[in-house]
Amino acid sequence: MEVDVRRVIVRKDYPGRKGLVVYRMSRDQRVDDNWALLFAQQLADVKNEGLAVVFTLVPHYPNANRRHFDFMIRGLKQVEKHLAAKNIPFFLLMDEQPMSAFADFIREYDVSAVVSDFDPLRHKQAWNKMIDTIDAIAHYEVDAHNIVPCHFVSRKVEFGAYTLRPKIKRLLPDFLTEFPELHPQTVQMKAHPIDWVGIKTMLSHSENVEPVNWLQSGEEAAKTVLDQFIATKLSHYDEQRNHPEADGQSHLSPYLHFGQIAAQRVALEIIRNAPPGGQEAFLEELIVRRELADNFCYYNPLYDQTGGFPEWAKKDMELHRNDVRLYLYTREELENGETHDPLWNAAQRELTVRGKMHGYLRMYWAKKLLEWTASPEEALQHAIYLNDKYSLDGRDPNGYAGIAWSIGGVHDRAWFPRPVFGKIRYMSLSGCFAKFDVDQYIREHSK
């Protein structure tokens, strides 16, 4: 089965050119179920050329630290192993200027075509633009992350889930299909051995946020987590997902963020194996909400700034800029979980210690930042800083969209006005008490 051409953006064509085909793996760090890798193999087969996979590791990658590097490197070791089983060489280039190291690689190995995976974030889009400027190669971008390709499902920033949902649903029968197998390469080519120990040492400068040990990394672990979720939690997902004390979520977000599992594989397995109940609510989050976040970051260049909020929210923000705030906290107090609110402090502690905050509390947590800082700009900066620094799934379109929803009304509607928040949806501690066992959650995540 050929890769659907609607998944592919031809950034630069160069027909007839012979030479190695390279998949430049970035967002989708897996060998199984990877449309970008499958497309690269298809291209290599047509050209009758070799295929290699290259990953560029940036030691000072924006907002990444030991927690993220540790999870990623452990996953990449599995990528190397799984590629070797298919006779596909894996190169890891480590450089602060990743695209210039990659350009050197292209020249050294006489590369004819590059396949990049799709990522809506601006620095990743900038990397793709740099590759476009390299002479005498073809360059393709393949959406291996979304089930329905982001650039294809919509050509504009969507207002909300209600506008994207019907577009996705219409196209799902075309795109939610089984993956073909990656076949072993026959053309032999050797990669340099990767010095994993040396790489770890070179990354030791990264800020000291402890790695987590309650989640294993890699493609194999991702599949186990999915299987366990289907077997034990899925049927209660709908009723438990707003209960942070109940651990009813899948914990798939770190794997999805690092591309260690395809959302499409998750959806296929859920549909195939799901017990009654839970399926619909879960697929709404996994497909519609997740793909909406990519749409937001791809088409809204101000996805991490207040300028990216909807017009009604921006106007409202000005109206309430000088409202009196009852509490004001510094970044340090917030980071240390030293507010007057024990629920917020416990949520912050879940984030810093476990590297993943419960989804329901993420909304409460971000909204309180709006309430307890001097301006929406400051609230947004603190939210992004803390989320990206501590969350294993941080630095992700879901994070920028989730924060913009909480603080700036993105993908939401206007609510009844109130001080500081204006028409942004409000969440209160008493509301949390009415929804779930707040005390139990605090006990679980207190010092």
Ligand X SMILES: Cc1cc2nc3c(=O)[nH]c(=O)nc-3n(C[C@H](O)[C@H](O)[C@H](O)COP(=O)(O)OP(=O)(O)OC[C@H]3O[C@@H](n4cnc5c(N)ncnc54)[C@H](O)[C@@H]3O)c2cc1C
Angle at 11 between CA 114 and CA 219, to 5 degrees: 50
Q: Does 391 bind ligand X (CB under 6 A)?
A: yes
Q: Does 59 bind ligand X (CB under 6 A)?
A: no
The residue behind tokens 């393709």 is 140
Q: How far apart are the first and last CA of the chain?
A: 54
- The bridge status of strand 138-142 relative to strand 8-12 is antiparallel
Q: Does 253 bind ligand X (CB under 6 A)?
A: yes
Question: Shortest approach of ligand X to residue 189 CB, angstroms?
Answer: 35
Q: Which listed residue (249, 264, 279, 373) binds ligand X by CB under 6 A?
A: 249
Rounded CA separation 69/199 (Å): 10
Helix, strand, coil shares, percent, the chain, to 5: 50, 10, 40
CA 264 to chain CA mean position, Å: 14
Number of shown-chain residues binding ligand X (CB under 6 A): 28
Output 182 or 256, the one with its CB closest to ligand X: 256
Question: Shortest approach of ligand X to residue 249 CB, angstroms?
Answer: 3
Output 50 or 394, the one with its CB closest to ligand X: 394
CA 330 to chain CA mean position, Å: 28
Q: Does 27 bind ligand X (CB under 6 A)?
A: no
Q: Which listed residue (320, 362, 389, 411) binds ligand X by CB under 6 A?
A: 362
**Token digits for 179?**
């993956």
Q: Which listed residue (24, 47, 257, 349) binds ligand X by CB under 6 A?
A: 257
Rounded CA separation 441/438 (Å): 5
**The one segment of 107-115, 177-185, 330-338, 395-403 that binds ligand X by CB under 6 A:** 395-403
Q: Does 380 bind ligand X (CB under 6 A)?
A: no
Other Cβ atoms closer than 10 A to 447: 7
Other Cβ atoms closer than 10 A to 328: 11
Q: Are 36 and 23 in contact (CB under 8 A)?
A: yes
Interface mask (CB under 6 A) for ligand X, residues 406-435, using x and -?
x-----------------------------
Rounded CA separation 317/340 (Å): 25
Angle at 34 between CA 37 and CA 41, to 5 degrees: 25
Output 28 or 393, the one with its CB closest to ligand X: 393
Q: Which listed residue (402, 408, 409, 422) binds ligand X by CB under 6 A?
A: 402
Site for ligand X in 269-308 (CB under 6 A): 285-286, 289-290, 293
Interface mask (CB under 6 A) for ligand X, residues 212-241, using x and -?
-----------------------------x
**Token digits for 237?**
């997902």
**The one segment of 200-208, 245-253, 339-347, 428-436 that binds ligand X by CB under 6 A:** 245-253
Output 131 or 287, the one with its CB closest to ligand X: 287
Site for ligand X in 116-145 (CB under 6 A): none
**Strand 51-57's sheet: what is its strand order?**
8-12, 138-142, 111-117, 20-25, 51-57, 90-94
CA-to-CA separations, 247 to 254, 284, 422, in angstroms, rounded? 16, 19, 33
Question: Shortest approach of ligand X to residue 380 CB, angstroms?
Answer: 10
Question: Shortest approach of ligand X to residue 343 CB, angstroms?
Answer: 15
Residue 357, classed as helix, strand or coil, is coil
Q: Which listed residue (33, 141, 396, 412) binds ligand X by CB under 6 A?
A: 396
Residues engaged in binding ligand X (CB under 6 A): 241, 249-253, 256-257, 285-286, 289-290, 293, 359, 362-363, 366, 387, 391, 393-394, 396, 398-399, 402-403, 405-406
